[in-house]
Amino acid sequence: MANDLMGEFEHQVLLALVRMGDEGYSVPLVLELEERTGREIQPAAVYIALRRLEEKGMTVSEFRNAPPDEGGRERRYFTVTDEGRARLREARRTFLGLWDGIETALEEQ
Amino acid sequence: MSGGRRDSPPRWHRQLLRRLVARRDRTSAEAELEELWRVRRGRDGRAAADRWYRRQVGAFLLRGVAWRGRRPDPGRAGPLDRIALDVRAAIRRLGRNPGSTAAALLALVLGIGAGTTVFGVVDGVVLRPLPFPAAERLVHLGEVLAETGTAMAVAPPAYLAWSGAELRTLEGVAATSTEGIDLVTDAGAEHLEGARVGATFFGVMGVPPALGRGFTTGEDAPGGPPAVVLSNDLWTRRFGGDSKVVGRTIRLGGAGRAERDPGSPPRCRAMERRRVASP
């Protein structure tokens, strides 16, 4: 179903979440994505991606308070589900298959 | 707020975010965006962090994260949700091409302005009836210079011929021309837009004065007794709507005029644009 397809940005968000240890909230996720992609990331876009990933069963979320030394305010933590990890593996296989044999053709001159 | 001691994101935008975001996300979204603002303030300075924060609140609005409820999925959205999605997509695209957006808006504004102007003319000339009881029976007679088609003032002999005893096609003919005239009272002088009309004017137009009378045949003859009819506006504004003004003498200057007798103050739209009528 089209609704279950993972968009490019959702893919990036899910990968960043895995890199953070399978769990995280939006702030380190935004900073991680900005560092990895080299461009400004809108928190609103991350919110949308996280919500869609949750609707597709690739993440789950819960509200928890931050540790006291970090202000103690409420945060929404997202965790990658088994389904999410499986979809990432599947996407990687698909991409590797698509890339196979054309790396040299797309190398920068 | 832009005071140097402020240790939080721009207040107005923070409140806007609080109002936009759905209740279940409100606290975390506000706290997390503020946390990112602090990171940027430490890295880029407060001014840059404030600008970034305002942009992000705008992005929350445009991207529909506001969602007081569920964000509609394009695949499952109902008609209203689809309209909301389309509007947001249109706003985003317009924002990406400010030049084209400005040109389109300019064209739209000019088009609406031109359309409004044309409608105003059509409404006044074609759609809205003239303020006379039998407007459909009124015709405008004039003279045109045959060589150029230029409208000319009607010569007195022509008017006399049209309104003479042999008149059969028309029930009556009335002459009128515009004339500026000065009203002098104890309160001061005022220049008025007036009209010179023939004695038949009020009868032909079908709008008898509300008070007093119109003009008699002798009054529109050269050297006839002076008389004027006041517009409702002038009557109420300069004479306090006093019905005793009928028969009083007022002083009208200009063009060597003598004192005139205000025949009556008419309450009719026909006279609204002219302050006085005189024969």
**What DSSP assignment string belongs to B119-160?**
HHHHIIIIISPPSSTTGGG-----EE-TTT--EEPPPHHHHH
Specify the pLDDT at position A1.
Answer: 42
Chain A residues close to B28, C-beta within 8 Å: 25, 63, 73-76
Q: Is the pLDDT of residue B117 over 90?
A: yes
Of B27, B60, B75, the CB nearest to A44: B60
Specify the pLDDT at position B65.
Answer: 62
Specify the pLDDT at position A31.
Answer: 94
Chain B CB within 8 Å of residue A19 CB: no
For B174-216, what is each residue's pLDDT tens digit?
Answer: 888 888 888 888 878 888 888 888 888 888 888 888 888 888 8
Specify the pLDDT at position B68.
Answer: 44
Beta bridge partners of B251: B184, B259
Specify the pLDDT at position B77.
Answer: 60
Q: How far is B34 from chain A (nearest CA, A)?
A: 9
φ, ψ of residue B264 to 5 degrees: the values are -170, 155
More confident residue, B166 or B28: B28
Chain A residues close to B25, C-beta within 8 Å: 47, 76
More confident residue, B5 or B179: B179
Of A43, A45, A51, the CB nearest to B36: A43
The three-point CA angle B145-B181-B225 to 5° equals 95
Q: In the predicted model, what is the mean pLDDT of chain B?
A: 78
- Whether residues B63 and A31 touch (CB distance < 8 A) is answered with no
Q: How far is B30 from chain A (nearest CA, A)?
A: 9
Q: Is the pLDDT of residue A74 over 90?
A: no
Mean pLDDT across B257-268: 43
Which amino acid, one-letter code, is at B63? R
Specify the pLDDT at position B5.
Answer: 54
Query: In 10 A of CB B109, how many CB atoms?
Result: 10
ipTM surpasses 0.85: no
Residue found under tokens 């002098």: B184
For A25-72, what is each residue's pLDDT tens digit?
Answer: 989 999 999 999 999 999 989 988 998 899 899 999 988 888 888 878
Q: How far apart are CA B256 and CA B102, in angstroms?
A: 58
Chain A residues close to B38, C-beta within 8 Å: none
Most confident of B35-39, B120-124, B253-257: B35-39
Q: Is the pLDDT of residue B271 over 50?
A: no
**Residue B3 pLDDT level (bands cut at 50, 70, 90):** very low
Chain B CB within 8 Å of residue A54 CB: no
Specify the pLDDT at position B124.
Answer: 81
Of B29, B56, B76, the CB nearest to A42: B56
For B67-82, what is each residue's pLDDT tens digit?
Answer: 444 455 555 566 666 7
Of A3, A51, A75, the CB nearest to B31: A75
Burial grade of B132 (CB within 10 A; 0-12, 13-18, 19 or more): middle
Q: How far apart are CA B278 and CA B224, in angstroms?
A: 11
Chain B CB within 8 Å of residue A69 CB: no
Give the predicted TM-score (pTM) of the model: 0.47
For B130-183, what is each residue's pLDDT tens digit?
Answer: 888 888 888 888 888 888 888 888 888 888 888 776 677 788 888 888 888 888
Chain B CB within 8 Å of residue A36 CB: no
Of B27, B36, B65, the CB nearest to A48: B65
Chain B CB within 8 Å of residue A74 CB: yes
**Residue B30 pLDDT level (bands cut at 50, 70, 90):** confident
Burial grade of B230 (CB within 10 A; 0-12, 13-18, 19 or more): buried
Q: With pLDDT > 70 as the criterion, what percentage of chain B qualifies?
A: 80
- Whether residues B63 and A48 touch (CB distance < 8 A) is answered with yes
Q: Strand (E) positions, A1-109?
A: 23-24, 59-65, 74-80
**Residue B52 pLDDT level (bands cut at 50, 70, 90):** very high
Q: What is the 8-class DSSP label of residue B212?
A: S
| CA nearest to A3 within chain B | B75
| CA nearest to B31 within chain A | A73
